[in-house]
Structures are given as structure tokens and as C-alpha cells.
Amino acid sequence: MEEQQYIDYFENLCRQSLDINHEVDGKKAFFYLDNPDNTDEIDNAFRNQIQYPAFILDAPAGMVSGNGSANYTDSPVGSFTVLCQAKTPEEVRQARDRSKSIGISFLARMNKDARENKIVAGKRINFVINDNAYEPMNFPAHQLYGYVFEFLFVCPFGFSSDSGTWRDI
């Protein structure tokens, strides 16, 4: 799975979601953090025209595995955050509840899309729904509260030394 395919998949989900209204009325609700140390885009969005609830996708890390056989996999480990606005303690609880519900609905959609081979057209990408962690994420200075969710894709791929890549092969 290429990085742009990863981004496109989630941005499209945010366009289709009735909870995350990305690009409705010209407002963005989807943001991609390709560098977790550089949050300028998010900070600017907090100050400007961001649509809430907001969906923030982090760049994936991952693992390459041989699984002890000839079946090699690339397994991107990713995370996304769903944030809602809240001012009072009661609104904070409601924002977290809504964020959790939205995050779980995204995990369910990812599971459905994986079963139907719809994550990336023409590629088999498995979604591992097993002990997917989530934890609170808060930006009290911006009155934003929600959850970050972790997930794992498993993507089979060919693993070989190609003579077109090495001078000595």
C-alpha cells in the first residue's frame, strides 16, 4: 500500500461519512500529519475554518514479515484521531462519546471495505480487528476532545532481489 493510497482511502471515507463532513460548505474536516513533529497545518486549522468533528490521520509506521513462509507481508500500523469541540465538563463527556462512536464506525467501515477488497482497487489488503487500542486525545487550549484509534493493515507483496535494482545481480 503506497502512502498516497493510504491518504486517499481515508480522505474519501471522510467525504462519505455523515459524521465527518469533509469539504461540505468548503470546510475541511480531514487532515493528514506526515510529520508528527510538525503540527502547523493542524494549528492553523484550529484557528481558521475547520469542520468539527475533525479527522486527523497520522503517517503510518509498519512491519515487513516473512511469516515463516513464502508469503511476505507489509503491515502498515496507523492511527487516526477524531476531535469534537466542547466547553463545559458535560460537553467534554459528550464530545468524547461522539468521537468514540465515530472512530468505531470508521473501524467497522475499514473492516467491511477490507472484506470487499475496496481499500485499494485491485489489491488484497487485510484489516486486523483485534485489540485495536484507543485512548483520549485532548487539546484543551482549543476546546477539542476526542480519541485516537490505532489500526493495522496487512498487505501481501512480492519480496525478491531484482536484478534491475542491484549492480551485482
Q: 141, exposed or middle or buried, with CB in 10 Å at 0-12, 13-18, 19+?
A: exposed
161 domain-assigned: no
Q: Is the pLDDT of residue 69 over 70?
A: no
Q: Check residue 165 and report its DSSP letter.
A: T
Q: Any idea which of 3-12, 58-67, 72-81 has the lowest mean pLDDT?
A: 58-67
In this predicted model, what pLDDT tens digit does every residue of 81-137 receive, in sequence order?
Answer: 999 999 999 999 999 999 999 999 999 999 999 999 999 988 899 998 888 899 999
The residue that leads in pLDDT, 45 or 141, is 141
162 domain-assigned: no
Which residue type does 85 have? Answer: Q
63 domain-assigned: yes
Q: Are strands 50-58 and 28-33 parallel, antiparallel or unpaired?
A: parallel
CATH number of the domain enclosing 137: 3.30.70.1700
168 domain-assigned: no
Q: Any idea which of 28-37, 55-64, 116-125, 132-141 has the lowest mean pLDDT?
A: 28-37
Q: Is the pLDDT of residue 67 over 90?
A: no
167 domain-assigned: no
13 domain-assigned: yes
pLDDT band, residue 68 (cuts 50/70/90):
low
Q: Is the pLDDT of residue 45 over 70?
A: no
130 domain-assigned: yes
d(CA 135, CA 121): 31
Arithmetic mean of pLDDT, 23-36 = 84
Average confidence score pLDDT of the chain? 87
Q: How many domains does the chain have?
A: 1
165 domain-assigned: no
- Domain with 83, as residue range(s), is 3-156
Is the overall model pTM greater than 0.85, yes or no? yes
